[in-house]
A and B are shown apart, each in its own frame.
Chain A
Amino acid sequence: MLLLQVDIALIIEKLIIISVILMGSLGIAMYATWGERKVAAIMQDRLGPNRAGPMGLLQPLADGLKLFFKEEIIPDRSTRFIFILGPCLAMLTALMTSAVVPWGPDYIAPSGRTITFQVADINIGILFVFGVVSLGVYGVMLGGWASNNKFSLLSSIRAASQAISYELAMGISLIALIMMSGSLSLRDIVAQQHGFWDGNWFSWYVFKQPVGFIIFLTCAFAELNRAPFDLPECESELNMGYHQEYSSMKLGFYLFAEYINLFISSAIIVTLYFGGYNFPFMDQVATATGPLLFSIICILVLISKAVGMVLFFMFVRWTLPRFRYDQLMKLGWKGLIPLALANMLVTGMLVLWVFKS
Protein backbone atom coordinates (compact mmCIF):
# COMPACT_ATOMS: atom_id res chain seq x y z
CA MET A 1 0.00 0.00 0.00
CA LEU A 2 1.47 3.23 -1.10
CA LEU A 3 -0.86 5.31 0.99
CA LEU A 4 0.81 4.09 4.14
CA GLN A 5 4.17 5.37 2.98
CA VAL A 6 2.91 8.93 2.68
CA ASP A 7 4.06 11.21 5.45
CA ILE A 8 0.89 11.91 7.45
CA ALA A 9 2.45 14.95 9.09
CA LEU A 10 3.17 16.42 5.66
CA ILE A 11 -0.45 15.97 4.63
CA ILE A 12 -1.68 17.62 7.80
CA GLU A 13 0.79 20.48 7.35
CA LYS A 14 -0.27 21.05 3.76
CA LEU A 15 -3.95 20.83 4.69
CA ILE A 16 -3.45 23.52 7.33
CA ILE A 17 -1.52 25.73 4.91
CA ILE A 18 -4.15 25.27 2.18
CA SER A 19 -7.02 26.12 4.52
CA VAL A 20 -5.22 29.14 5.96
CA ILE A 21 -4.42 30.44 2.47
CA LEU A 22 -7.98 29.85 1.27
CA MET A 23 -9.54 31.49 4.30
CA GLY A 24 -7.04 34.34 4.12
CA SER A 25 -7.70 34.95 0.44
CA LEU A 26 -11.44 34.87 1.01
CA GLY A 27 -11.16 37.25 3.95
CA ILE A 28 -8.93 39.68 2.12
CA ALA A 29 -11.17 39.53 -0.95
CA MET A 30 -14.15 40.24 1.28
CA TYR A 31 -12.52 43.32 2.68
CA ALA A 32 -11.30 44.30 -0.78
CA THR A 33 -14.95 44.94 -1.67
CA TRP A 34 -15.20 47.25 1.33
CA GLY A 35 -11.85 48.83 0.42
CA GLU A 36 -12.95 49.43 -3.12
CA ARG A 37 -16.02 51.31 -1.98
CA LYS A 38 -14.07 53.32 0.55
CA VAL A 39 -11.37 54.20 -2.00
CA ALA A 40 -14.04 55.22 -4.50
CA ALA A 41 -15.76 57.31 -1.83
CA ILE A 42 -12.58 59.07 -0.76
CA MET A 43 -11.57 59.79 -4.33
CA GLN A 44 -15.03 61.20 -5.08
CA ASP A 45 -15.21 63.17 -1.82
CA ARG A 46 -17.94 61.02 -0.31
CA LEU A 47 -18.16 59.02 2.91
CA GLY A 48 -18.74 55.55 1.51
CA PRO A 49 -20.22 52.69 3.53
CA ASN A 50 -20.56 53.84 7.14
CA ARG A 51 -23.77 52.29 8.50
CA ALA A 52 -22.90 48.66 9.29
CA GLY A 53 -20.40 48.67 12.12
CA PRO A 54 -17.70 51.27 12.82
CA MET A 55 -16.51 52.83 9.53
CA GLY A 56 -18.80 50.40 7.73
CA LEU A 57 -16.48 47.54 8.58
CA LEU A 58 -19.33 45.04 8.78
CA GLN A 59 -20.56 46.00 5.32
CA PRO A 60 -19.06 42.93 3.53
CA LEU A 61 -20.85 40.64 5.98
CA ALA A 62 -24.11 42.45 5.40
CA ASP A 63 -23.63 42.21 1.65
CA GLY A 64 -22.86 38.51 1.83
CA LEU A 65 -25.89 37.88 4.02
CA LYS A 66 -28.07 39.79 1.60
CA LEU A 67 -26.80 37.79 -1.39
CA PHE A 68 -27.37 34.51 0.45
CA PHE A 69 -30.97 35.35 1.28
CA LYS A 70 -31.94 36.67 -2.13
CA GLU A 71 -34.19 34.63 -4.33
CA GLU A 72 -32.34 32.40 -6.73
CA ILE A 73 -33.56 32.76 -10.29
CA ILE A 74 -32.49 30.49 -13.12
CA PRO A 75 -33.80 31.83 -16.43
CA ASP A 76 -36.35 29.65 -18.17
CA ARG A 77 -34.55 29.38 -21.50
CA SER A 78 -31.08 28.97 -20.06
CA THR A 79 -28.89 25.88 -20.28
CA ARG A 80 -29.27 24.91 -16.65
CA PHE A 81 -26.17 22.84 -15.99
CA ILE A 82 -23.76 25.20 -17.71
CA PHE A 83 -25.51 28.15 -16.09
CA ILE A 84 -24.62 26.73 -12.68
CA LEU A 85 -21.18 25.57 -13.82
CA GLY A 86 -20.15 29.11 -14.83
CA PRO A 87 -19.77 30.73 -11.39
CA CYS A 88 -18.30 27.51 -9.96
CA LEU A 89 -15.54 27.58 -12.57
CA ALA A 90 -14.92 31.27 -11.96
CA MET A 91 -14.46 30.65 -8.25
CA LEU A 92 -12.37 27.49 -8.72
CA THR A 93 -9.87 29.06 -11.10
CA ALA A 94 -9.65 32.17 -8.94
CA LEU A 95 -8.60 30.12 -5.92
CA MET A 96 -6.32 27.64 -7.69
CA THR A 97 -3.57 30.12 -8.50
CA SER A 98 -2.72 30.64 -4.85
CA ALA A 99 -1.20 27.14 -4.71
CA VAL A 100 2.19 28.13 -6.11
CA VAL A 101 2.76 31.48 -4.40
CA PRO A 102 5.59 31.21 -1.85
CA TRP A 103 4.17 33.11 1.12
CA GLY A 104 7.27 33.11 3.29
CA PRO A 105 10.76 31.66 3.77
CA ASP A 106 11.22 28.16 5.13
CA TYR A 107 10.82 27.82 8.85
CA ILE A 108 12.87 25.15 10.57
CA ALA A 109 10.95 24.03 13.62
CA PRO A 110 12.83 23.07 16.80
CA SER A 111 11.99 19.43 16.07
CA GLY A 112 14.12 19.70 12.92
CA ARG A 113 11.17 19.73 10.58
CA THR A 114 11.19 22.23 7.72
CA ILE A 115 7.91 23.95 7.08
CA THR A 116 7.49 25.62 3.70
CA PHE A 117 4.87 28.32 3.47
CA GLN A 118 3.82 27.24 0.01
CA VAL A 119 1.27 24.68 -1.05
CA ALA A 120 3.25 23.21 -3.93
CA ASP A 121 6.72 24.06 -5.19
CA ILE A 122 6.45 22.75 -8.74
CA ASN A 123 9.34 23.55 -11.03
CA ILE A 124 7.03 25.17 -13.58
CA GLY A 125 5.30 27.54 -11.16
CA ILE A 126 4.86 30.45 -13.57
CA LEU A 127 3.45 28.18 -16.26
CA PHE A 128 0.98 26.76 -13.76
CA VAL A 129 -0.27 30.27 -13.04
CA PHE A 130 -0.48 30.89 -16.74
CA GLY A 131 -2.42 27.69 -17.35
CA VAL A 132 -4.95 28.45 -14.63
CA VAL A 133 -5.36 32.03 -15.85
CA SER A 134 -6.04 30.76 -19.35
CA LEU A 135 -8.74 28.47 -17.93
CA GLY A 136 -10.27 31.37 -16.01
CA VAL A 137 -12.07 32.71 -19.05
CA TYR A 138 -14.29 29.62 -19.22
CA GLY A 139 -16.33 30.73 -16.23
CA VAL A 140 -17.23 34.02 -17.86
CA MET A 141 -17.75 32.55 -21.33
CA LEU A 142 -19.97 29.66 -20.25
CA GLY A 143 -21.98 31.80 -17.85
CA GLY A 144 -22.59 34.44 -20.49
CA TRP A 145 -23.57 31.91 -23.13
CA ALA A 146 -25.80 29.81 -20.89
CA SER A 147 -27.81 32.86 -19.78
CA ASN A 148 -29.38 32.97 -23.25
CA ASN A 149 -29.24 36.74 -23.30
CA LYS A 150 -27.79 38.85 -26.08
CA PHE A 151 -25.94 41.21 -23.77
CA SER A 152 -24.46 38.39 -21.76
CA LEU A 153 -23.30 36.65 -24.93
CA LEU A 154 -21.72 39.82 -26.30
CA SER A 155 -20.01 40.36 -23.00
CA SER A 156 -18.64 36.83 -22.79
CA ILE A 157 -17.33 37.05 -26.33
CA ARG A 158 -15.62 40.31 -25.46
CA ALA A 159 -14.13 38.71 -22.37
CA ALA A 160 -12.77 35.77 -24.34
CA SER A 161 -11.16 37.78 -27.10
CA GLN A 162 -9.73 40.26 -24.61
CA ALA A 163 -8.26 37.49 -22.47
CA ILE A 164 -6.68 35.67 -25.40
CA SER A 165 -5.25 38.86 -26.89
CA TYR A 166 -3.63 39.99 -23.67
CA GLU A 167 -2.39 36.53 -22.68
CA LEU A 168 0.05 36.67 -25.59
CA ALA A 169 1.72 39.89 -24.50
CA MET A 170 1.70 38.68 -20.90
CA GLY A 171 3.43 35.44 -21.85
CA ILE A 172 6.09 37.20 -23.89
CA SER A 173 6.82 39.69 -21.10
CA LEU A 174 7.19 36.73 -18.73
CA ILE A 175 9.65 35.02 -21.08
CA ALA A 176 11.99 38.00 -20.67
CA LEU A 177 11.79 37.59 -16.89
CA ILE A 178 12.39 33.85 -17.13
CA MET A 179 15.45 34.42 -19.31
CA MET A 180 16.95 36.53 -16.52
CA SER A 181 15.98 34.18 -13.71
CA GLY A 182 16.77 30.92 -15.52
CA SER A 183 14.05 29.19 -13.55
CA LEU A 184 10.31 28.76 -13.80
CA SER A 185 9.84 28.07 -10.11
CA LEU A 186 8.35 31.01 -8.22
CA ARG A 187 10.37 29.93 -5.19
CA ASP A 188 13.66 30.32 -7.06
CA ILE A 189 12.56 33.64 -8.50
CA VAL A 190 11.82 34.97 -5.03
CA ALA A 191 15.10 33.60 -3.68
CA GLN A 192 16.99 35.48 -6.41
CA GLN A 193 15.48 38.78 -5.25
CA HIS A 194 16.89 38.41 -1.77
CA GLY A 195 17.14 41.65 0.19
CA PHE A 196 16.99 44.80 -1.86
CA TRP A 197 20.52 45.54 -3.10
CA ASP A 198 22.77 42.75 -4.33
CA GLY A 199 26.00 44.80 -4.34
CA ASN A 200 25.76 46.25 -7.84
CA TRP A 201 22.14 46.84 -8.57
CA PHE A 202 18.69 46.46 -7.00
CA SER A 203 17.85 42.81 -6.72
CA TRP A 204 14.12 43.14 -7.40
CA TYR A 205 13.06 42.27 -10.91
CA VAL A 206 11.07 45.48 -11.33
CA PHE A 207 14.41 47.30 -11.60
CA LYS A 208 15.87 44.71 -13.97
CA GLN A 209 12.77 44.33 -16.14
CA PRO A 210 10.99 47.72 -16.03
CA VAL A 211 9.44 47.41 -19.50
CA GLY A 212 8.39 43.84 -18.87
CA PHE A 213 6.78 44.91 -15.62
CA ILE A 214 4.72 47.62 -17.28
CA ILE A 215 3.55 45.19 -19.97
CA PHE A 216 2.72 42.55 -17.39
CA LEU A 217 0.81 45.03 -15.26
CA THR A 218 -1.21 46.30 -18.21
CA CYS A 219 -2.07 42.76 -19.22
CA ALA A 220 -3.02 41.97 -15.63
CA PHE A 221 -5.55 44.82 -15.75
CA ALA A 222 -7.00 43.32 -18.91
CA GLU A 223 -7.04 39.74 -17.60
CA LEU A 224 -8.74 40.86 -14.41
CA ASN A 225 -11.39 42.80 -16.34
CA ARG A 226 -10.58 45.83 -14.24
CA ALA A 227 -11.07 49.40 -15.40
CA PRO A 228 -9.79 50.86 -17.72
CA PHE A 229 -10.21 47.51 -19.49
CA ASP A 230 -13.50 46.35 -17.97
CA LEU A 231 -15.18 46.03 -21.34
CA PRO A 232 -16.94 42.72 -20.54
CA GLU A 233 -19.03 44.42 -17.90
CA CYS A 234 -19.29 47.90 -19.22
CA GLU A 235 -22.70 48.98 -18.03
CA SER A 236 -23.23 51.77 -20.52
CA GLU A 237 -23.16 49.36 -23.47
CA LEU A 238 -24.06 45.96 -22.09
CA ASN A 239 -26.36 46.70 -19.12
CA MET A 240 -24.43 44.52 -16.67
CA GLY A 241 -22.41 42.18 -18.80
CA TYR A 242 -22.03 38.44 -18.48
CA HIS A 243 -23.64 38.19 -15.05
CA GLN A 244 -26.82 40.02 -15.97
CA GLU A 245 -29.09 36.99 -15.55
CA TYR A 246 -27.46 35.85 -12.35
CA SER A 247 -28.91 36.46 -8.94
CA SER A 248 -28.31 35.54 -5.34
CA MET A 249 -25.02 33.86 -4.42
CA LYS A 250 -24.22 32.85 -8.00
CA LEU A 251 -23.88 36.55 -8.78
CA GLY A 252 -21.96 36.85 -5.55
CA PHE A 253 -19.54 34.14 -6.71
CA TYR A 254 -18.80 36.03 -9.91
CA LEU A 255 -18.22 39.32 -8.10
CA PHE A 256 -16.27 37.65 -5.35
CA ALA A 257 -14.08 35.64 -7.76
CA GLU A 258 -13.08 38.94 -9.28
CA TYR A 259 -11.78 40.24 -5.96
CA ILE A 260 -10.01 36.97 -5.16
CA ASN A 261 -8.36 37.20 -8.57
CA LEU A 262 -7.40 40.76 -7.77
CA PHE A 263 -5.66 39.79 -4.54
CA ILE A 264 -3.96 36.65 -5.88
CA SER A 265 -2.69 38.39 -9.00
CA SER A 266 -1.37 41.22 -6.85
CA ALA A 267 0.47 38.60 -4.81
CA ILE A 268 1.89 37.09 -7.99
CA ILE A 269 2.94 40.46 -9.41
CA VAL A 270 4.65 41.22 -6.10
CA THR A 271 6.31 37.80 -6.11
CA LEU A 272 7.59 38.17 -9.65
CA TYR A 273 8.64 41.80 -9.69
CA PHE A 274 8.73 43.23 -6.17
CA GLY A 275 10.77 40.59 -4.39
CA GLY A 276 7.95 38.60 -2.82
CA TYR A 277 8.55 38.36 0.88
CA ASN A 278 12.00 39.97 0.66
CA PHE A 279 12.55 43.40 2.14
CA PRO A 280 15.56 45.71 2.67
CA PHE A 281 17.83 44.78 5.59
CA MET A 282 16.15 41.41 5.99
CA ASP A 283 19.40 39.69 7.01
CA GLN A 284 19.85 42.07 9.96
CA VAL A 285 16.22 41.52 10.94
CA ALA A 286 16.68 37.76 10.66
CA THR A 287 19.60 37.78 13.08
CA ALA A 288 17.83 40.12 15.47
CA THR A 289 14.64 38.05 15.69
CA GLY A 290 13.94 34.38 16.06
CA PRO A 291 13.21 32.20 13.00
CA LEU A 292 9.49 31.95 13.69
CA LEU A 293 9.08 35.70 14.18
CA PHE A 294 11.14 36.30 11.04
CA SER A 295 8.89 34.03 8.98
CA ILE A 296 5.83 35.85 10.27
CA ILE A 297 7.39 39.23 9.44
CA CYS A 298 8.15 38.00 5.91
CA ILE A 299 4.58 36.79 5.39
CA LEU A 300 3.25 40.13 6.65
CA VAL A 301 5.61 41.97 4.30
CA LEU A 302 4.34 39.96 1.33
CA ILE A 303 0.72 40.55 2.29
CA SER A 304 1.21 44.27 2.80
CA LYS A 305 2.96 44.56 -0.56
CA ALA A 306 0.07 42.68 -2.18
CA VAL A 307 -2.45 44.93 -0.45
CA GLY A 308 -0.52 47.93 -1.73
CA MET A 309 -0.80 46.50 -5.22
CA VAL A 310 -4.55 45.98 -4.74
CA LEU A 311 -4.86 49.64 -3.70
CA PHE A 312 -2.99 50.64 -6.84
CA PHE A 313 -5.48 48.66 -8.95
CA MET A 314 -8.28 50.51 -7.16
CA PHE A 315 -6.75 53.97 -7.63
CA VAL A 316 -6.40 53.28 -11.34
CA ARG A 317 -9.99 52.08 -11.58
CA TRP A 318 -11.33 55.32 -10.13
CA THR A 319 -8.97 57.55 -12.09
CA LEU A 320 -8.89 56.42 -15.71
CA PRO A 321 -11.90 56.32 -18.03
CA ARG A 322 -12.76 53.11 -19.86
CA PHE A 323 -11.15 52.30 -23.20
CA ARG A 324 -13.20 51.78 -26.31
CA TYR A 325 -13.20 48.20 -27.57
CA ASP A 326 -11.23 48.85 -30.75
CA GLN A 327 -8.72 50.90 -28.75
CA LEU A 328 -8.30 47.96 -26.40
CA MET A 329 -7.59 45.53 -29.24
CA LYS A 330 -5.27 48.01 -30.93
CA LEU A 331 -3.29 48.51 -27.75
CA GLY A 332 -3.01 44.78 -27.18
CA TRP A 333 -2.05 43.65 -30.66
CA LYS A 334 -0.24 46.66 -32.10
CA GLY A 335 1.21 48.17 -28.96
CA LEU A 336 1.97 45.62 -26.27
CA ILE A 337 2.92 42.56 -28.33
CA PRO A 338 5.59 44.32 -30.45
CA LEU A 339 6.88 46.05 -27.32
CA ALA A 340 7.05 42.73 -25.47
CA LEU A 341 8.84 41.10 -28.40
CA ALA A 342 11.40 43.93 -28.50
CA ASN A 343 11.85 43.64 -24.74
CA MET A 344 12.42 39.91 -25.08
CA LEU A 345 14.98 40.44 -27.83
CA VAL A 346 16.90 43.08 -25.87
CA THR A 347 16.82 40.96 -22.71
CA GLY A 348 18.08 37.98 -24.66
CA MET A 349 20.98 39.95 -26.09
CA LEU A 350 21.87 41.40 -22.68
CA VAL A 351 21.75 37.97 -21.01
CA LEU A 352 23.83 36.44 -23.79
CA TRP A 353 26.53 39.09 -24.21
CA VAL A 354 26.62 41.49 -21.29
CA PHE A 355 25.68 39.57 -18.15
CA LYS A 356 27.42 36.34 -19.06
CA SER A 357 27.80 34.18 -16.02
Chain B
Amino acid sequence: MNLYDTLFWFFSAVAVGCALGVILSRNPVNSVLFLVGTFLAISGHYFIMNAQFLAIVNIVVYTGAIMVLFLFVIMLMNLNADVEPQKGQLIQVAGVISGGVLFLVLIAAIHKASPMPIDKQSIDIGLINNLGKVLFKEYVLPFEISSVLFLSAMIGAVVIGKKEPALPAEGEAQ
Protein backbone atom coordinates (compact mmCIF):
# COMPACT_ATOMS: atom_id res chain seq x y z
CA MET B 1 0.00 0.00 0.00
CA ASN B 2 1.60 3.23 -1.06
CA LEU B 3 1.09 6.70 0.33
CA TYR B 4 -1.66 7.56 -2.13
CA ASP B 5 -3.74 4.53 -1.15
CA THR B 6 -3.19 5.13 2.54
CA LEU B 7 -4.36 8.72 2.25
CA PHE B 8 -7.27 7.69 0.07
CA TRP B 9 -8.56 5.18 2.61
CA PHE B 10 -7.94 7.59 5.48
CA PHE B 11 -9.92 10.43 3.88
CA SER B 12 -12.65 8.03 2.79
CA ALA B 13 -13.03 6.68 6.30
CA VAL B 14 -13.16 10.21 7.74
CA ALA B 15 -15.69 11.33 5.13
CA VAL B 16 -18.00 8.36 5.66
CA GLY B 17 -17.65 8.49 9.43
CA CYS B 18 -18.42 12.21 9.56
CA ALA B 19 -21.34 11.79 7.15
CA LEU B 20 -22.79 9.16 9.48
CA GLY B 21 -22.21 11.54 12.37
CA VAL B 22 -24.25 14.23 10.56
CA ILE B 23 -27.37 12.10 10.45
CA LEU B 24 -26.90 10.24 13.72
CA SER B 25 -26.10 13.05 16.15
CA ARG B 26 -29.04 14.50 18.05
CA ASN B 27 -27.65 17.99 18.45
CA PRO B 28 -27.85 20.09 15.26
CA VAL B 29 -24.62 21.95 16.08
CA ASN B 30 -22.76 18.64 16.22
CA SER B 31 -24.35 17.72 12.88
CA VAL B 32 -22.96 20.90 11.35
CA LEU B 33 -19.52 20.19 12.79
CA PHE B 34 -19.58 16.67 11.35
CA LEU B 35 -20.59 18.11 7.99
CA VAL B 36 -17.59 20.45 8.20
CA GLY B 37 -15.43 17.37 8.81
CA THR B 38 -16.95 15.69 5.76
CA PHE B 39 -16.14 18.68 3.59
CA LEU B 40 -12.58 18.80 4.86
CA ALA B 41 -12.16 15.09 4.07
CA ILE B 42 -13.51 15.63 0.56
CA SER B 43 -11.06 18.50 0.14
CA GLY B 44 -8.36 16.06 1.17
CA HIS B 45 -9.51 13.77 -1.67
CA TYR B 46 -9.17 16.67 -4.09
CA PHE B 47 -5.68 17.35 -2.75
CA ILE B 48 -4.45 13.80 -3.35
CA MET B 49 -5.89 14.00 -6.87
CA ASN B 50 -3.72 17.13 -7.33
CA ALA B 51 -6.78 19.37 -7.77
CA GLN B 52 -5.50 21.97 -5.32
CA PHE B 53 -7.68 24.79 -6.57
CA LEU B 54 -10.84 22.74 -6.24
CA ALA B 55 -9.80 21.60 -2.77
CA ILE B 56 -9.23 25.11 -1.45
CA VAL B 57 -12.32 26.55 -3.11
CA ASN B 58 -14.32 23.73 -1.56
CA ILE B 59 -12.97 24.76 1.84
CA VAL B 60 -13.49 28.49 1.30
CA VAL B 61 -17.01 28.22 -0.10
CA TYR B 62 -18.54 25.28 1.74
CA THR B 63 -16.69 25.18 5.04
CA GLY B 64 -15.87 28.85 5.36
CA ALA B 65 -19.06 30.46 4.14
CA ILE B 66 -22.02 28.14 3.77
CA MET B 67 -21.47 26.09 6.90
CA VAL B 68 -20.82 29.25 8.94
CA LEU B 69 -24.20 30.52 7.80
CA PHE B 70 -25.79 27.17 8.72
CA LEU B 71 -24.23 27.38 12.15
CA PHE B 72 -25.41 30.96 12.43
CA VAL B 73 -29.02 30.02 11.75
CA ILE B 74 -28.92 27.00 14.06
CA MET B 75 -27.44 29.06 16.88
CA LEU B 76 -30.08 31.75 16.47
CA MET B 77 -32.92 29.21 16.47
CA ASN B 78 -31.48 27.57 19.57
CA LEU B 79 -32.49 24.06 18.52
CA ASN B 80 -31.99 21.42 21.16
CA ALA B 81 -32.52 17.69 21.12
CA ASP B 82 -35.39 17.89 23.62
CA VAL B 83 -37.34 20.65 21.89
CA GLU B 84 -36.93 19.23 18.39
CA PRO B 85 -40.40 18.64 16.94
CA GLN B 86 -41.11 14.96 16.35
CA LYS B 87 -42.44 14.09 12.91
CA GLY B 88 -45.57 12.00 12.48
CA GLN B 89 -45.43 8.25 11.84
CA LEU B 90 -46.62 8.55 8.24
CA ILE B 91 -43.91 11.09 7.34
CA GLN B 92 -41.24 8.90 8.89
CA VAL B 93 -42.32 5.87 6.84
CA ALA B 94 -42.53 7.97 3.68
CA GLY B 95 -39.06 9.34 4.36
CA VAL B 96 -37.61 5.87 4.84
CA ILE B 97 -39.17 4.58 1.62
CA SER B 98 -38.14 7.52 -0.58
CA GLY B 99 -34.62 7.58 0.90
CA GLY B 100 -34.32 3.83 0.37
CA VAL B 101 -35.38 4.15 -3.26
CA LEU B 102 -32.78 6.86 -3.84
CA PHE B 103 -30.17 4.68 -2.16
CA LEU B 104 -31.14 1.78 -4.43
CA VAL B 105 -30.74 3.95 -7.53
CA LEU B 106 -27.32 5.13 -6.32
CA ILE B 107 -26.19 1.55 -5.59
CA ALA B 108 -27.36 0.44 -9.02
CA ALA B 109 -25.57 3.31 -10.74
CA ILE B 110 -22.31 2.72 -8.85
CA HIS B 111 -22.56 -1.03 -9.39
CA LYS B 112 -22.83 -0.61 -13.15
CA ALA B 113 -20.12 2.05 -13.42
CA SER B 114 -16.68 0.96 -14.47
CA PRO B 115 -13.88 2.26 -12.25
CA MET B 116 -11.89 5.00 -13.91
CA PRO B 117 -8.30 5.22 -12.66
CA ILE B 118 -6.73 8.64 -12.49
CA ASP B 119 -4.86 9.40 -15.67
CA LYS B 120 -1.31 9.88 -14.50
CA GLN B 121 -0.46 11.71 -17.74
CA SER B 122 -2.96 14.49 -17.18
CA ILE B 123 -2.13 14.92 -13.51
CA ASP B 124 -1.95 18.71 -13.98
CA ILE B 125 -5.56 19.02 -15.06
CA GLY B 126 -6.61 20.25 -11.64
CA LEU B 127 -4.04 23.04 -11.47
CA ILE B 128 -5.49 26.48 -11.77
CA ASN B 129 -3.96 27.40 -15.15
CA ASN B 130 -5.42 24.38 -16.89
CA LEU B 131 -8.70 24.63 -15.07
CA GLY B 132 -9.08 28.27 -16.13
CA LYS B 133 -8.29 27.48 -19.74
CA VAL B 134 -10.76 24.58 -19.81
CA LEU B 135 -13.48 26.63 -18.13
CA PHE B 136 -13.11 29.72 -20.28
CA LYS B 137 -12.41 28.03 -23.62
CA GLU B 138 -14.13 24.68 -23.93
CA TYR B 139 -16.92 25.14 -21.44
CA VAL B 140 -17.42 28.90 -21.62
CA LEU B 141 -21.13 28.71 -22.45
CA PRO B 142 -22.18 26.41 -19.58
CA PHE B 143 -19.95 28.45 -17.29
CA GLU B 144 -21.61 31.72 -18.22
CA ILE B 145 -25.07 30.17 -18.03
CA SER B 146 -24.40 28.90 -14.53
CA SER B 147 -23.22 32.37 -13.52
CA VAL B 148 -26.54 33.76 -14.80
CA LEU B 149 -28.22 31.14 -12.62
CA PHE B 150 -26.31 32.43 -9.62
CA LEU B 151 -27.24 36.00 -10.48
CA SER B 152 -30.91 35.09 -10.62
CA ALA B 153 -30.62 33.34 -7.25
CA MET B 154 -28.99 36.47 -5.81
CA ILE B 155 -31.73 38.72 -7.19
CA GLY B 156 -34.32 36.33 -5.78
CA ALA B 157 -32.70 36.53 -2.36
CA VAL B 158 -32.70 40.33 -2.50
CA VAL B 159 -36.35 40.42 -3.52
CA ILE B 160 -37.33 38.06 -0.69
CA GLY B 161 -35.26 39.99 1.82
CA LYS B 162 -36.64 43.39 0.78
CA LYS B 163 -38.91 45.14 3.22
CA GLU B 164 -42.56 45.13 2.25
CA PRO B 165 -43.84 48.63 1.46
CA ALA B 166 -45.84 49.80 4.43
CA LEU B 167 -49.52 49.12 3.81
CA PRO B 168 -51.78 52.12 4.26
CA ALA B 169 -53.48 51.78 7.62
CA GLU B 170 -57.17 50.89 7.67
CA GLY B 171 -59.48 53.82 7.61
CA GLU B 172 -56.69 56.30 6.91
CA ALA B 173 -58.16 57.21 3.55
CA GLN B 174 -61.23 58.84 5.03
Q: Are A124 and B29 in contact (CB under 8 A)?
A: no
Q: Smallest CB–CB gap between A8 and chain B, Å?
A: 16
Total A-B Cβ pairs within 8 A: 68
The distance in angstroms between the C-alpha atoms of A122 and B65, with both chains bound, is: 23
Q: Are B52 and A157 in contact (CB under 8 A)?
A: no
- Tell me the nearest residue of chain B to A131, going by C-beta: B59
Contact residues of A between 123 and 152, Cβ < 8 Å to B: 123-124, 127-128, 130-131, 133-135, 137-138, 141-142, 145
Q: Which residues of B contact A137 (CB under 8 A)?
A: 64, 68
Q: Smallest CB–CB gap between B58 and chain A, Å?
A: 9
Q: Is the interface of A mostly helix, strand, loop or mixed?
A: helix
Q: Are A134 and B63 in contact (CB under 8 A)?
A: yes
List chain B positions with a Cβ less than 8 A from chain A.
2-3, 27, 29, 33, 36, 52-53, 56-57, 59-60, 63-65, 68-69, 71-72, 75-76, 127-128
Q: Which residues of A contact B36 (CB under 8 A)?
A: 138
Q: A79-B29, A134-B59, A157-B75 are in contact. List 17 more A-B contacts (CB 8 A).
A: A82-B29, A82-B33, A122-B52, A127-B57, A127-B60, A130-B56, A130-B60, A131-B63, A135-B59, A138-B68, A141-B75, A145-B29, A145-B71, A163-B68, A164-B68, A167-B64, A167-B65
Q: Smallest CB–CB gap between A195 and chain B, Å?
A: 27
Q: Smallest CB–CB gap between B3 and chain A, Å?
A: 5
The distance in angstroms between the C-alpha atoms of A128 and B128, with both chains bound, is: 13
Q: Are B56 and A131 in contact (CB under 8 A)?
A: yes
Q: Which residues of B contact A133 (CB under 8 A)?
A: 64
- Tell me the nearest residue of chain A to B67, going by C-beta: A138
- Tell me the nearest residue of chain B to A144, going by C-beta: B75
- Tell me the nearest residue of chain A to B76, going by C-beta: A157
- Give 7 A-B contacts (CB < 8 Å), ordered by A residue: A79-B29, A82-B29, A134-B59, A145-B75, A163-B68, A167-B64, A167-B65
The answer to whether the Cβ of A289 comes within 8 Å of any Cβ in the partner chain is no
Q: Are B52 and A124 in contact (CB under 8 A)?
A: yes
Q: Which residues of B contact A164 (CB under 8 A)?
A: 65, 68-69
- Tell me the nearest residue of chain A to B52, going by C-beta: A124
Q: Smallest CB–CB gap between B99 and chain A, Å?
A: 29
